[in-house]
Structure 1
Amino acid sequence: MSVSNSVLQHCPDCSRVLYFSHAETNLIQCSCGSTIVRTESGVVAKPFYTVTQPFDLIQPGTEGVWNGQSFRVLGRIRAWIEEFVFNYWIIVFDDGALRYLGEGYGIYSIYERVLTDRITSNLLDGINVDSKRDLLAGETFILERQYRCYKWELEGEVWLPHAPSAFRTFEFASLQGRRLEAIELLKDVLICFDVQYVTQESLQLKQTRNAEPPEKLFACEQCKKEMVLKGFPFCQSFACVHCGTRYALEDGITFKKINQRNSTDAGPDIELGAKGVIRGIDYELIGYAQKEENNQYRSQWKEYTLFSPQKGFAFLSEYSGHWTFIRERGDAPVLETESVTRFTQGGEGFELYNSYDYEVVNAKGEFPYNAFNDGEKKAKEFISPPQVWIREKSGREGITWFLGEHITGGELSKAFAEKMVVPYKSGIGAVEPKGFVSVGNILRVGFGAVLLMILVHLLTSMTHSKKLISENTYDFLPSVDTVAFIKKDIVLDKWSSNLQFDIYADVDNSWCEVSGTLVDVAKGTEYSFEQGVEYYHGYSEGESWSEGDRKETTYLSSIPAGHYDLIIRATRETKFQFSTVTGEAPALSPNISSFHVNVTYDTTNDRNLLFCIIPVVLLATIHFLIVRHNERRRWYNSPFSPYTYNDED
């Protein structure tokens, strides 16, 4: 759609001068309240809505930064979409490029125009949520959400081709994480955008507005009492705080009474209107709902709505005294099929813990969605303590993701003080981080520690000289079972090292005891060892057996540099033996006649490595058993538990 190139125009209603700051913008709000559309032939007033009481953080003139480029906000389209309100802020960058800044409920995203002929009205008419389509070359997308904008309001100056009174939006996501949004303005008139989610902090917004939404008074049809709505227009439903009568917003104009009643008298543990700081954000608690699963278990939990004019909405969920802090997320996982039970997000593996639909059995206060049609939604919870991804799917609207994180009752009690009664806690919560470490992480850390120790051991072994300083065979005298030998003038030159003694004795169903003393010639300090060598074998019940070894190794460690003498002593076993030929009396018969000793200086002691590895393996095993025990308890209430249980569990 072409527009007039003239920057200065006059309002057709009041003749005020209008200034279009960008050649492509085509709608502007006049100070008289009129909505002016710029066309090829000039300007024309249209009966579109305007934002009459702006209160948002962002405003025309707000400045920010994205991808290192500065931008300025020109205006916005506030779209009233089924179950929520969303802002399309038009922003202009220093290079003149126009983009949308999507904002709503604390979620921010940048919209960049994408040209594609694969998205048509016919395609959108015949597509359902979770359907797959090739929308860009080589990339398949899944339809996650579809909405109808039934009303929009203008503030400032914007770009909206054809300026339709209503439009449809379709949100797609690829398995690679790319996201597209198609806006159908008219039949076969579409604009498509590449959507990139960002944080409020990363935008470095300045020249912002004091975000304080005006309070809206509502008189309950049932009890005739007034209730103050603090989150309007973002809140789409509420239950009267006096009598519990339920209402939902219809067409963005009026709240319609719903023919539902609270079926339980259970109240909130945190008072409505309580204010507190959670994770550094100031919140006010504006809504409470008690929900119940629509299955044989009928499990119930409590959910609280938190509102911050600056940061949007958050939720607190409580079950059996365990709390989860939850916020909606746009940069969420993308599941290829409904049957997915495990996925990885942010380097963490999440597993399916629960799947259910639910109904609200008790409610008070406000909700940023229609809380009373949620029987239409199917929820799935994927956990990786202390976090949980919650996926809610509605056949009419699509898929919404929430990211939750465990929060303690103590932290909440500190935030809300006397406004809260901390409920009793039982069992292990679904995302309670009690001793939780994934088995994969235990294996990775344990394997990494062992690998590091082996690497260090190999590197240090390269520095050892492994010098052979003695290699001798020592003989026993025929009639003597104990011998001693001395080796003098042994020079050890490292500030601290070891001696390795490799001992061999040809024992046969007998033993030999070898000991040694290393004497510092200058200081008289002694270092000693004792090492037995024994080997036994035989037959028992038709099978051979053996025990011991003819070769043993021992060490003297932490030996300082110096001149030493080495004294070797040995004792052999002597047996009584009868003569089977002469029948003479038994005589002493030595078992061995010699033994051999090799002495090596500055060697690698593999046993030290083993002594280091064993505690690591033992610690990892103990930790694994503790984690497994806790995980069995955590998954006990899950229909997707990987564990088996008996009647005693």
Structure 2
Amino acid sequence: MATVNGLYACDSCNATLSFVSKDTQWMACGGCGTVHYRYDGIAPVRKPVKAIRTSNDLIQPGTTGRWHGKAFQVLGRVRYRFEDGLINFWTVMMEDGLVQYLSEGYGLYAMLVKFSPAPAIDLKVFREAGEHTEVDGQKSVLESIARSVGYEAEGEAWDVFGAYFDRKPVFYDFARLNGDYITLATVDTIVAAFEVHSCTFAQLQLQQLNEAVVIPEKIVCNRCKNRIELVSYPYAESYACQCGAKLELEKDGEFRKDGAFGNTRSAIRLGATGVIKGISYTLIGYAVKQDNTQYKSKWREYVLYNRAEGYAWLSEYEGNWIYSREQEVAPVIANMPAIKEFSYKRKTFRLYSRYGYRIVAAEGEFPGKAFGAAFTRCREFIHPPYMWAEEEDSKEQVSYYLGEYIDRKDLEKAFGVQLPKEKEMGMLSPPFIQPRRLVLVTFIAALVLLGVHLLSGRTGTETMVLEKNYGWADAAGKTAPVLVSETFSLPNWRNNVELSTHADVNDSWVGADFELVNAETGEAHGLSQGVEYYHGYEDGESWSEGSTQASDVVSGLPAGKYFLRTQLSQDSTARQQVTEVSVKLKRNVAVDSNFYLLLGLLLIWPVVTYIRVWMADKARWYNSDYSPYTYDE
């Protein structure tokens, strides 16, 4: 991959300039730093472009990696600066010799693959981010307009603008509603189109990184003369001094005071380190933010930094904490003011709040220009414990952040501090159980219970073990003597038996007292049944009540030999006496009543749990103007 495609001499120091790719144009001399530009068929010439001589970035010329199964090597970069921030366009040469860009900055990574022809779209008509349009027939949203104010170079870099290299390009980032992302970079009439493939640091499998110790950028507060070190420079362009001074990077590269903050105190010490979600962070900034609603609510926000993963934020309100990071791939909801909810990756996110905010107190360093006077507009959509936040801090940028609830105790362990306890239900505090999961668990438990019931109730074939016909041999109306059956076996570990009685009663009744007696232990199980049937004719209508048979189930009889003891009685005043009663005993019968009883007991837990979840969710939405609940004030 490292084949030399051109050897030249530096215009300033005569050092050798070795181009690896035939498609690259920029080359910064490794000796003196002079930046050269190579035209087609012409030797490189010196250009008045600043070289990047020192860097704390992990990626460097010579870094290798893999993307979509193909190896690549980093050749160099052009770093574009904007009014608020910067971005690195690293030139990477794939194993097949093709070059493309790896965009990187603030912990966001994406491969940019050039395609042509560029979409036929008039970019000059766009005035602000969030506008909707169509790109190649696909509904799209303009998420950012980035106008470069300058650039620097390092190593060997690819230039897509040719003769217009010395102009400052404008980058338009579009999110298509089908989930694709494209960037259109333009200089005058030249438009370069790129497919944007977002990826993570881990996915790139980068090696040969810059592992040198970070050299902080040193500045001096022009209010208190305090010496300050910025560990995330050049991405950090704002600093709040402990004296209250607001320092922001000016166009000449100097940090100058622009107003002052009041005193504030961070619950976690600046410079503290801790591991969150497997990432080792340094806490570099702390701010108090206030919204512009009628409540003027304030919350605290902590800026975290990792050299590879970039920035993350910890937000705390009333003791509840949220961990969030900016995302390049996000739901496309910009400039949709009426939207109240959306589905993303099979989760429904509902609008919780809409507000503007600004920083009212701060200390430490912050990415970009953080201390603007204007309010940053924000919308928050929640699906506890997750949240999508959309922020617009200018007319040219819409940013998306994925937030997640994080337990206070985990932060205390990570940073070795004591933090304020929760004062109320947080908007992302996880529910005891998700309602859908509750329904699923209940359904599965009911199926398991049904399966156990069917298996236990039918461990064998339903079998008749006793069938007897008893009658009265003596005078009508007297109680029959005690009748004892022959013995029979119940073989199962636990047996369910059904005892049924039939008698041809007519406007009368028959009673039967039974005892199932274990012939080996003498243990008896008593049971009484009554059979009664009455009928007549009254007010022109026939009526009847009762039945000529009755049955009951006895459950849980242990295995053994049994006999049935029976004593019958009947209505002595009946006009028609019963002369015979039929008694039947079956084993291995299903006992549905037990199933329904257990099912009822089983449902107590999900019902109580659902009420708990409902009450907690109602408390969660109490502070929202978009609550689906009503409250008694």
- Report the TM range for the smaller structure's normalisation: 0.7 to 0.9
Structure 1 Cα separation of the partners of residues 5 and 471 of structure 2: 115
291, 294, 297: which one pairs with 1:296?
A: 294
Structure 2 Cα separation of the partners of residues 406 and 115 of structure 1: 43
Q: What is the deviation of 1:272?
A: 2.2
Cα deviation digits, residues 50-108 of structure 1 (max 9, x gap): 21112211111212222222222222222223322222222222223333222222222
The range that moved more, 595-604 or 30-39, is 595-604
Structure 1 Cα separation of the partners of residues 543 and 246 of structure 2: 84
Structure 2 Cα separation of the partners of residues 429 and 155 of structure 1: 47
In structure 2, the residue matched to 1:54 is 55
Structure 2 Cα separation of the partners of residues 592 and 357 of structure 1: 89
1:149 and 2:148 equivalent? yes
Following superposition of structure 1 onto structure 2, how do residues 217-256 of structure 1 map, counting pairs within 5 Å? 217-242=218-243, 244-251=244-251, 253-256=253-256
The amino acid of 1:57's aligned partner reads: L
The amino acid of 1:106's aligned partner reads: G
Q: What is the deviation of 1:628?
A: 1.4
Tell me, yes or no, if the aligned pair for 1:239 and 1:365 is still in contact at 8 Å. Answer: yes
In structure 2, the residue matched to 1:66 is 67
The amino acid of 1:645's aligned partner reads: Y
The amino acid of 2:257's aligned partner reads: K
Cα deviation digits, residues 260-313 of structure 1 (max 9, x gap): 432x53422222233333333332222111111111101111111122223321
Tell me, yes or no, if the aligned pair for 2:482 and 2:566 is still in contact at 8 Å. Answer: yes
Tell me, yes or no, if the aligned pair for 1:144 and 1:171 is still in contact at 8 Å. Answer: yes
Give the 3 Å change call, closer, same or farther, for CA 389–485 of structure 1 in structure 2: farther
In structure 2, the residue matched to 1:422 is 419
Q: What is the deviation of 1:481?
A: 3.8
The amino acid of 2:611's aligned partner reads: L
Q: What is the deviation of 1:612?
A: 3.8
Secondary structure of 1:630's match?
helix
Following superposition of structure 1 onto structure 2, how do residues 173-322 of structure 1 map, counting pairs within 5 Å? 173-184=175-186, 186-210=187-211, 212-242=213-243, 244-251=244-251, 253-258=253-258, 260-262=259-261, 264-322=262-320
Tell me, yes or no, if the aligned pair for 1:574 and 1:590 is still in contact at 8 Å. Answer: no
Tell me, yes or no, if the aligned pair for 1:175 and 1:335 is still in contact at 8 Å. Answer: no
Give the 3 Å change call, closer, same or farther, for CA 480–308 of structure 1 in structure 2: same
459, 462, 466: which one pairs with 1:466?
A: 462
Q: What is the deviation of 1:501?
A: 3.5
Q: What is the deviation of 1:408?
A: 2.9
In structure 2, the residue matched to 1:618 is 604
Give the 3 Å change call, closer, same or farther, for CA 48–456 of structure 1 in structure 2: farther
Tell me, yes or no, if the aligned pair for 1:56 and 1:212 is still in contact at 8 Å. Answer: no
Tell me, yes or no, if the aligned pair for 1:56 and 1:211 is still in contact at 8 Å. Answer: no
617, 622, 629: which one pairs with 1:631?
A: 617
Tell me, yes or no, if the aligned pair for 1:150 and 1:165 is still in contact at 8 Å. Answer: no
The amino acid of 1:39's aligned partner reads: Y
Give the 3 Å change call, closer, same or farther, for CA 246–457 of structure 1 in structure 2: same
In structure 1, the residue matched to 2:15 is 16
The range that moved more, 527-536 or 355-364, is 527-536
In structure 1, the residue matched to 2:435 is 439
1:355 and 2:361 equivalent? no
In structure 2, the residue matched to 1:581 is none
In structure 2, the residue matched to 1:448 is 444
The range that moved more, 507-516 or 155-164, is 507-516
Tell me, yes or no, if the aligned pair for 1:213 and 1:309 is still in contact at 8 Å. Answer: no
Give the 3 Å change call, closer, same or farther, for CA 7–364 of structure 1 in structure 2: same
Cα deviation digits, residues 474-503 of structure 1 (max 9, x gap): 546633445655554645566665333455
Tell me, yes or no, if the aligned pair for 1:376 and 1:395 is still in contact at 8 Å. Answer: no
Structure 2 Cα separation of the partners of residues 568 and 574 of structure 1: 21
Give the 3 Å change call, closer, same or farther, for CA 409–492 of structure 1 in structure 2: closer
Structure 1 Cα separation of the partners of residues 82 and 472 of structure 2: 101
Structure 1 Cα separation of the partners of residues 212 and 532 of structure 2: 87
Give the 3 Å change call, closer, same or farther, for CA 556–322 of structure 1 in structure 2: closer
Give the 3 Å change call, closer, same or farther, for CA 23–633 of structure 1 in structure 2: same
Q: What is the deviation of 1:509?
A: 9.3
Tell me, yes or no, if the aligned pair for 1:527 and 1:556 is still in contact at 8 Å. Answer: no
Identical residues among aligned pairs (%)? 30
In structure 2, the residue matched to 1:584 is none
Structure 1 Cα separation of the partners of residues 450 and 406 of structure 2: 40
The amino acid of 2:442's aligned partner reads: G
Secondary structure of 2:265's match?
coil
Cα deviation digits, residues 174-204 of structure 1 (max 9, x gap): 33322222222x1232222222222222222
Secondary structure of 2:621's match?
helix
Tell me, yes or no, if the aligned pair for 1:533 and 1:552 is still in contact at 8 Å. Answer: no
Secondary structure of 2:232's match?
coil
Secondary structure of 2:179's match?
coil
Give the 3 Å change call, closer, same or farther, for CA 548–364 of structure 1 in structure 2: farther
Structure 2 Cα separation of the partners of residues 384 and 551 of structure 1: 56
The range that moved more, 407-416 or 202-211, is 407-416
Cα deviation digits, residues 429-449 of structure 1 (max 9, x gap): 12122x433323322322233
Structure 1 Cα separation of the partners of residues 226 and 566 of structure 2: 103
Secondary structure of 1:89's match?
strand
The amino acid of 1:602's aligned partner reads: N
In structure 1, the residue matched to 2:115 is 114
Tell me, yes or no, if the aligned pair for 1:213 and 1:232 is still in contact at 8 Å. Answer: no
Give the 3 Å change call, closer, same or farther, for CA 194–567 of structure 1 in structure 2: same
Q: What is the deviation of 1:588?
A: 8.2
Q: What is the deviation of 1:392?
A: 0.8
The amino acid of 1:182's aligned partner reads: L
Structure 1 Cα separation of the partners of residues 492 and 424 of structure 2: 59
Q: What is the deviation of 1:375?
A: 3.3
Q: What is the deviation of 1:565?
A: 4.2
In structure 1, the residue matched to 2:125 is 125
Following superposition of structure 1 onto structure 2, how do residues 359-370 of structure 1 map, counting pairs within 5 Å? 359-370=358-369
Secondary structure of 1:201's match?
coil
Q: What is the deviation of 1:46?
A: 1.8
Structure 2 Cα separation of the partners of residues 220 and 558 of structure 1: 88
Structure 1 Cα separation of the partners of residues 491 and 257 of structure 2: 94
Give the 3 Å change call, closer, same or farther, for CA 565–454 of structure 1 in structure 2: closer
Q: What is the deviation of 1:28?
A: 1.9
Following superposition of structure 1 onto structure 2, how do residues 537-552 of structure 1 map, counting pairs within 5 Å? 551-552=550-551
Which segments of 5 or more consecutive residues in structure 1 lack a partner in the other structure? Answer: 576-586
Structure 2 Cα separation of the partners of residues 104 and 592 of structure 1: 98
Tell me, yes or no, if the aligned pair for 2:457 and 2:496 is still in contact at 8 Å. Answer: no
Cα deviation digits, residues 11-63 of structure 1 (max 9, x gap): 34444332222222222222231222222231222222221112211111212
**How many residues are matched?**
616
Cα deviation digits, residues 573-631 of structure 1 (max 9, x gap): 647xxxxxxxxxxx688997665544333333333432442233211001011111222
Give the 3 Å change call, closer, same or farther, for CA 308–608 of structure 1 in structure 2: same
Give the 3 Å change call, closer, same or farther, for CA 592–314 of structure 1 in structure 2: farther
Tell me, yes or no, if the aligned pair for 1:503 and 1:553 is still in contact at 8 Å. Answer: no
Structure 2 Cα separation of the partners of residues 56 and 639 of structure 1: 43
